[in-house]
Amino acid sequence: MSIIKKRKRIALVAHDNKKDDLLEWADFNKGSLTRHRLFATGTTGRLLEEALDIPVTRFNSGPLGGDQQIGAQIAEGKIDMLIFFWDPLAPMPHDPDIRALLRLCVVWNIPVASNRTTADFIFSSPLMDEDYPRQLEDYSTHITRMDDLLDEVEEEKDSPES
């Protein structure tokens, strides 16, 4: 178990066609957002800082690795929530990065909102203003199985028949 603290660490991401939506949502929720620590990908972070006049820790833009940087922070337990306004109708050349980011949210059991309505529901929850005991999956069996598979591959490489 891990504790998501009262002061949440929130990553905010928006595709180009959704940046205005995220900025409107963030402006509406500015009072709530100021009580938390904010992170964002490149341009989204700059726009949020300018619009809200609150600090935002910025990563690279999504296509340049920002999604992966946020994913790494999630895996290290340094991001508690993801608000990601993505455009389901726009082509996404970095789609594998986006899917990996969303997969990490599930693996590490953090809340993720992909649209304004879900973000509103999350932010209106009383859980936003208190510590939350986050349940974490026990992946030790999976890790052991993967280690065993890697050992088998190494043994096959080292065998004289190879």
Query: pLDDT averaged over the chain?
Result: 90
89-114 pLDDT, tens digit per residue, is 877 666 788 889 999 999 999 999 99
Task: Say if pTM beats, i.e. exceeds, 0.75.
Answer: yes
Higher pLDDT, 43 or 91: 43
Task: Report the pLDDT value the prediction gives residue 94, as an integer from 0 to 100.
Answer: 67
CB contact at 8 A, 11 and 40? yes
Q: For position 33, which CATH number holds?
A: 3.40.50.1380
Handedness of CA 58, 64, 67, 72 (dihedral sign): negative
Domain count across the chain: 1
Active-site residue list? 67
Using CA atoms, how far apart are residues 138 and 140, in angstroms rounded to an integer? 6
Read off the amino acid at residue 131: D
> 96 is in which domain, residue-wise?
2-158
130-149 pLDDT, tens digit per residue, is 999 999 988 777 667 777 67
4-27 pLDDT, tens digit per residue, is 999 999 999 998 899 999 999 999
